[in-house]
Amino acid sequence: MTAGPVISAHGDPPVHLTFAALDRFGLPHLSTTRHCPGITRPADSGSPFGSAAVERFTGSGLDLSRAAFLRQVHGAGVSRVDGEAGGFVGEGDILLTETPGVPLAIFTADCLAIILFDPVGRRLGVAHVGWRGTVKWAAAVAARALAAAGSRPGDLVAAISPSIGPCCYEVDQPVLDPLRTEFSREWQRWVRAVGDGKWMLDLWAANESQLVTAGLSPDHIVNSRLCTACRSDLFFSYRKEGSVGRLVTVASL
């Protein structure tokens, strides 16, 4: 990857962010901040993108009126978006497409949204990953699904959206036990004990490790390293604020 800033902020205050590693390939994408208008929670019917959001990004290569989205369930289920149809496409946490012009959307308020792009084979995936998705290898499942479609893992570029960082993500035994069971060799590298049955969990490191295990080059994984709980001036954080709003990460071929 070319040295330089990982992200670019757009607007004052910033309304959305883009990743330099994806900009260099001309991939339309963005991660919103709390200052972006017209974003609501996804539902089985109706668009989560209001007219203010659709109009704001008209001309950016992202037609949000056609965006595909899921009922996210903290798992590792994969849905393919083929053809021109977008909108609500069912239950799951991973979307894949080879169709140009159909944005794929992931909604978060602390969890990771991961964009996976194959600039050679022109394939795209997005994944929603919290601690449960991490235990289910969701990031690796997304990368392997692209590989099964014909992509070479070494060609993939991954970008991790603003999400809760190891500075703020305190977990307890019910979270730690599944991690320890699934990742018996690695889990200790991702946690830091803070006493009284509490640990700080690094979901960034855990998912970066999964992507490398799936065949991505570490140099092809970029992370904004912006913590949603620390930066309440920019982002919504369910952990810090409760159910106050949603961020969206969107990308389109």
More confident residue, 2 or 55: 55
Q: What is the pLDDT of residue 139?
A: 98
Tens digit of each residue's pLDDT (9 = 90 or more) over 204-249? 999 999 999 999 999 999 999 999 999 999 999 999 888 788 999 9
How do the domains of the chain map onto residue ranges? Answer: 7-165+203-251
**Residue whose token pair is 């600039």:** 119
Tens digit of each residue's pLDDT (9 = 90 or more) over 149-178? 999 999 999 999 999 999 999 999 999 999
What pTM did the predictor assign? 0.95
Q: Report the pLDDT averaged over residues 92-105.
A: 96
Whether residue 15 is predicted with pLDDT greater than 90 in this model: the reply is yes
The residue type at 79: S
Q: How far is CA 9 from CA 64, 73, 101, 139, 235, in A?
A: 20, 30, 23, 25, 13
Mean pLDDT for the chain overall: 94
- 26 in the Ramachandran plot: left (φ > 0), alpha (ψ -120 to 50) or beta? left
145's CB contacts (< 8 A; 6+ apart) are 78, 94, 96, 125
pLDDT band for position 99 (cuts 50, 70, 90): very high
Q: What is the pLDDT of residue 251?
A: 97
Q: Report the pLDDT averaged over residues 61-79.
A: 94
Residue among 227, 216, 221 at smallest CA distance from 21: 221
Q: Report the pLDDT averaged over residues 21-39.
A: 95
Decide: helix, strand or coil at residue 133. Answer: helix
pLDDT band for position 134 (cuts 50, 70, 90): very high
In eight-state DSSP terms, residue 227 is -
Q: Which helix (H) or strand (E) holds 207?
A: helix 203-213
Q: How far is CA 33 from CA 17, 233, 234, in A?
A: 8, 9, 5
- CATH superfamily for 7-165+203-251 is CNF1/YfiH-like putative cysteine hydrolases (3.60.140.10)
Q: How many CB atoms lie within 10 A of CB 13?
A: 10
Q: 99 near 83, Cβ under 8 Å?
A: yes
Q: What is the pLDDT of residue 2?
A: 46
% pLDDT > 90, the chain = 83
Q: What is the pLDDT of residue 43?
A: 76
